[in-house]
Chain A
């Protein structure tokens, strides 16, 4: 059995990321796969998706354009056999170009952008494709340890049609110097970290408009224990 698909995920407890210490289960998870293999997640209709929901450079404008580097982030959502998954809900949220989140509890001293919320969503098309326009997020400091900074990243939530096709993750950018200092990124096994890094795609770049990145999302059964 192919081992690699089982060990790409971080452990529940990863002590360098301090919040996991009191928030991760201490008992083994109970395997119930055979009882749940038909469990579905809901399907979502296009009516739930607003026209500008996948364009974060436009969906919160008040008096102008958001500040920062405009980018396009696109990819295909597929299963482990490479089959594209249509109608999958992809939701993203992120900091603005100054590294500031809109969230009300956020206290980082960086400016909010009146024209940028940082949230978007889309349903994948028949070929499993999604695409967002957004602003490249900035790095931001957090309280995990002294002088802790998160690498630039975009949060992704993905809702497929089966229970095992639910994923929440973060997309990073190539060559970020903060990778080696970030316990959230480092919680992923070394060999799998590349799977979280979007590829720069010169050929998808829109001249005079936006740089392009590719981030494919592969969904599958989550079990950490290879059996069956």
Chain B
């Protein structure tokens, strides 16, 4: 049987906030997730991840939408559906870069554990006005053993640093995404 043709991708545009991140932006609509991936009683090490998305001129992009998807402190991806009253680790979050004064993003999560031979990491899905197809990248940690990670091993060594967050304080990490330029972030093709 011939495969069906996929529905083509289109940009998220500049006005996604009242639909996808309503609570963060102060719109009168609920949000299914926000920038906190932790539950009510977080296990493991709670961390903050902050960063920016920079365009080809080095300007921070104020209308990007970022999604985090990650394993928990035991290396498990949550498979139980997320619910409204849910005190467990969520493992999925969203944040738009339109509310922080410096057009940054900020997630509160737990440090994920390594799983199946991969170094601990956070999966990042990136949308923005001006992006016709979403992009996928990963955040690795500077204080973990990354050397045997199969994905990092297949990345051009000169670009590996674009995938590793910087420590910016106790349990605090900085991860900037560069769309272009010398520090252009490595994006993955799914």
Contacts and interface: CB of A to CB of B under 8 A. Distances in A.
Contacts of A28: 189
Given A9-B6, A39-B123, A93 B32 contact: no
Interface string B1-37: 1111111111111111111101001011110100000
Interface residues of A, number: 88
A167 B81 contact: no
Interface in A31-55: 31-33, 35-36, 39-45, 47-48, 50, 53
Most buried by B among A93, A164, A222: A93
A24 B91 CA distance: 27
Contacts, number: 249
Contact of B19 (A12, A93, A218, A224): A93
Most buried by A among B29, B127, B180: B29
Interface in B124-165: 125, 127-136, 150-151, 154-155
A89 B128 CA distance: 20
A80 B3 CA distance: 5
From DSSP, what is the main secondary structure of chain A's interface residues? loop
A228 interface: no
A195 B8 contact: yes
B89 to A, nearest CB: 11
A10 B189 contact: no
A67 interface: no
A188 interface: yes
Interface stretch (B44-52, B53-61, B100-108): B53-61
B127 A60 contact: no
B188 interface: yes
A30 B159 CA distance: 11
A63 interface: no
Contacts of A26: 56, 180, 184
A85 interface: no
A20 B6 contact: no
Nearest to A11: B132
Contacts of A92: 19
5 contacts: A9-B132, A14-B132, A29-B135, A31-B188, A157-B19
Interface of B: 1-20, 22, 25, 27-30, 32, 55-57, 61, 69, 77-85, 90-92, 98, 118, 123, 125, 127-136, 150-151, 154-155, 179-180, 184-190
